[in-house]
Structure 1
Amino acid sequence: MLLRISPDAEEAIYVQIRNQIVEGIAKGELEYGEKLPSVRSLAADIGVNFHTVNKAYQLLEREGFILIHNKKGVTVRPEGIEKADGAYFEKLHQSLRTLISEAAARSVPRDVFLKDCESIYSEIEQEQERSAK
């Protein structure tokens, strides 16, 4: 999986790394149990400070996407990602509320917003299907 980091983006680099790894898992580009590059190796590959990668990895581990072993390295959780529960749905609701509020404040039409959500979800499902083959 190739990470595309944009130093000029509004999102912090560690958030970009986190988001792209989560998307890679969602699309099936990263398999459960797959080994990820070490902190130093990934930092060198994408040209960022290793503390930035470490921050992304620590966040991913806290969120249950990866496991960090001192001797075995970093892997996508072998048993898979925990299914959504009530706490996750509450977090999702709050995140969506913020995105929808911003979109509404910027006069994004509801149908455009919903169409974009549907399009992104469909794209991820198609990637999952391709990866499963």
Structure 2
Amino acid sequence: MMLDIDLQSETPIYTQLVNGIIEGIARGELQPSEALPSVRSLAADLGINLHTVNKAYHLLKQDGYVQINRKQGVVIEPDAFPPADAAFKERLAKQLRPLLADAICRGMSKAELEAACAAVFDELRPNEQGGG
């Protein structure tokens, strides 16, 4: 698992970890039931505090992406990922709103925004057609 952590970023490290792991799942690089590195191991590999990794893992558990147990450690949820329910869609819209507003202020058209979204989708899921 390759995580790109920017220690100089304004984005908290635990958020970067959460986002990186979710992106790994979306890309198919992390599979259901696959074990993630232990808190101690990942913290050492990335040169960060183990409490930061622990916080990221617990947020992923809270959102339904992983299971945490004593025997297996942290594993990608084996059964199903959380659905895109109304609460998720509301959070998505809230997070997209400032990005879209910034893009509109910079002169991007709806077609350009749709193309940018499609390009990111295609990067994450190259073998899947968008639109549906």
For normalisation by structure 1, the TM-score amounts to 0.87
Root mean square deviation of aligned Cα = 1.8
The one-letter code of the counterpart of 1:126 is: P
Aligned-partner Cα distance in 2 for 1:11–1:104: 23
One-letter amino acid of the structure 2 residue matched with residue 66 of structure 1: V
Gaps of 5+ in 2: none
1:28-43 equivalent positions in 2, closer than 5 A:
28-43=28-43
Structure 1 residues 128 and 32, CA, compared in 2 at 3 Å: closer, same or farther?
Answer: farther
Which TM-score applies when normalising by structure 2? 0.87
- Which runs of 5 or more structure 1 residues have no equivalent in the other structure? none
Q: Once superposed, which parts of structure 1, at least 4 consecutive aligned residues long, lie more than 3 Å away?
A: none
Q: How many angstroms does 1:10 deviate by? A: 2.1
2: CA distance, partners of 1:73 / 1:46: 18
In the TM superposition, residue 104 of structure 1 has moved relative to its aligned partner by 2.9
**Mapped partners of 1:13, 1:127: distance in 2:** 30
Residue in 2 that maps onto 1:80: 80
Structure with the larger RCO, 1 or 2 (CA within 8 Å, 6+ apart): 1
CA distance in 2, matches of 1:104, 1:83: 30
The structure richer in helix per residue is 1
Are residue 60 (structure 1) and residue 49 (structure 2) matched?
A: no
